[in-house]
């Protein structure tokens, strides 16, 4: 469908994505392989666009997802690289037989289930044991992990392929909790070694934790940085000590078009609940998008958009299907002019909208409606 017939569309920069992947590989080092995490529709960017690029990129070794369903979807899309299921089992694990999909395991019950399935189907399931060192979500408690690891090592139809944990606060400048988690994890790895158990892969953090030494393991999970969000200033300072030119480029740009223009008088209210009233004669541009599309209601009267190279303030409440902007000071604005709602410009980056909305960065792209067309540019 041509852009002129779409209410909005999302452009994904292939050049920026490739740049981010190459930058992450430099930060990780030659001995650490990248697991590119494409869960949640590739953090809202479009898994059908992101995954094929990662699958063919020379610096990417694995693809990471949260559940079995996402792994099966990647195989249906034609992805060839190994896929690591980092979270839950939301489908019958028998469905992954002979598909080069590796499951995370954190209970004895899961191991027994795989052992029985493997015996029935005459196959072997590859697993990574997930260890809880302080995040307290999924994972076998670190104090009990050695027993589960020994069970996996002794199983006939389960192959122990990896062990991992998940850091809860790697971006905290204090680093006390993260380093405490790593100390527990390293102690476990030493116990495994003393038990004579060989584990091909270890990983303890995402790309945002490389600065505290997680590239000492064989894998690193790369999520937010792939998509070019601005990480914390502290983390970037740490990266720059090793690579002064290290930077990540936003890959997503969300655009729409002006559907109507009108001029209103001083004192006229705009939008629901009269939250904004014109302080002067004002030209109002209306766009055919709203919180149904993923533009947060919480940014009402706070955010802005880019029109003809200038920032236009968002006025009035964001409604379900419509938003309004003040374009009084932008010359020659016309119906059908392209408006950039999210892009790599000061004021309309994902970070800016997240700050306005008071949410985490990941909430902005992952809430973009999956019906919005994603286009590779």
Domain 31-229 shares a fold with domain 252-376: no
Phi-psi region of 346 (alpha: psi -120 to 50; beta: other; left: phi over 0): beta
Mean pLDDT check: name the lowest of 222-231, 279-288, 342-351: 222-231
- Computed over every residue of the chain, the mean pLDDT equals 92
CB 73 within 8 A of CB 52: no
Closest CA to 228 of 242, 211, 204, 208: 208
pLDDT band at 280 (very low <50, low <70, confident <90, very high): very high
**CA 213/CA 16 separation, integer angstroms:** 26
pLDDT at 210 over 80: no
What are the beta bridge partners of residue 362?
none
Burial 283-317 (b: 16+ CB within 10 A, else e): bbbbbbbbbebbbbeebbebbbbbbeeebbbbbbb
Rounded to whole angstroms, the Cα distance separating 119 from 126 reads 14
Residues 48 and 84 sit within 8 Å (Cβ to Cβ) = no
Residue 2 has a pLDDT of 42
* Superfamily name with CATH number, domain 252-376: Lyase, Ornithine Decarboxylase; Chain A, domain 1 (2.40.37.10)
* Mean of pLDDT values over 259-282: 97
How many Cα neighbours within 13 Å face the side chain of 217? 29
Strand ranges across the sheet with 310-315: 260-264, 282-287, 323-326, 310-315, 304-307, 338-342, 252-257, 8-12, 373-376
Locate the domains of the chain by residue range.
31-229, 252-376
Q: Which CATH architecture has domain 31-229?
A: Alpha-Beta Barrel (3.20)
What average pLDDT does range 245-250 have in this prediction? Answer: 86
The 3-state DSSP class for residue 173 equals coil
Closest CA to 368 of 354, 358, 356: 354
Tens-place pLDDT, residues 151-203: 999 999 999 999 999 887 666 666 777 788 888 999 999 999 999 999 999 99
Partners of 11 in the beta sheet?
A: 253, 375
Q: What is d(CA 108, CA 143) in angstroms, rounded to the nearest whole number?
A: 15
Neighbours of 358 (CB within 10 A): 11
Q: Could you tell me what percent of the chain has a pLDDT over 90? A: 80
pTM: 0.92
């Amino acid at each position: 469908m041509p852009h002129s017939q779409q209410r909005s569309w999302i452009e994904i920069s292939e050049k920026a994505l490739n740049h981010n992947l190459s930058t992450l590989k430099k930060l990780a080092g030659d001995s650490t392989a990248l697991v590119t995490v494409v869960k949640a529709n590739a953090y809202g960017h479009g898994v059908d666009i992101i995954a094929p690029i990662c699958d063919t990129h020379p610096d990417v070794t694995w693809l990471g997802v949260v559940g079995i369903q996402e792994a099966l979807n990647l195989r249906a899309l034609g992805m060839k690289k190994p896929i690591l299921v980092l979270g839950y089992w939301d489908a019958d694990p028998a469905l992954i037989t002979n598909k080069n999909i590796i499951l995370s395991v954190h209970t004895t019950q899961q191991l027994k289930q795989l052992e029985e399935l493997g015996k029935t189907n005459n196959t072997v399931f590859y697993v990574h044991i997930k260890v809880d060192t302080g995040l307290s979500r999924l994972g076998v408690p670190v104090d009990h992990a050695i027993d589960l690891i020994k069970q996996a090592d002794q199983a006939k139809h389960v192959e122990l392929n990896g062990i991992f944990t998940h850091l809860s606060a790697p971006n905290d400048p204090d680093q006390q909790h993260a380093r405490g988690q790593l100390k527990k994890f390293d102690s476990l790895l030493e116990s495994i070694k003393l038990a004579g158990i060989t584990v091909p892969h270890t990983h303890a953090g995402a790309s945002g934790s490389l600065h505290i030494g997680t590239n000492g393991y064989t894998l690193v999970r790369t999520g937010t940085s792939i998509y070019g969000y601005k990480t914390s200033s502290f983390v970037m300072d740490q990266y720059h000590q090793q690579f002064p030119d290290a930077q990540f480029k936003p890959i997503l740009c969300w655009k729409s078009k002006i559907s109507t223009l009108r001029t209103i008088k001083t004192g006229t209210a705009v939008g629901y609940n009269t939250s904004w009233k014109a302080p002067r004669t004002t030209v109002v541009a209306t766009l055919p998008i709203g919180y149904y599309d993923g533009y947060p209601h919480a940014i009402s009267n706070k955010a802005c958009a880019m029109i003809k190279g200038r920032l236009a303030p968002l006025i009035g409440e964001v409604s379900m299907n419509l938003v309004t902007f003040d374009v009084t000071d932008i010359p020659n604005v016309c119906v059908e002019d392209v408006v950039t709602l999210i892009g790599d410009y000061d004021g309309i980056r994902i970070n800016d909208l997240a700050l306005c909305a008071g949410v985490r960065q990941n909430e902005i792209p992952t809430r973009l409606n999956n019906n919005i067309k994603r286009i590779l540019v």
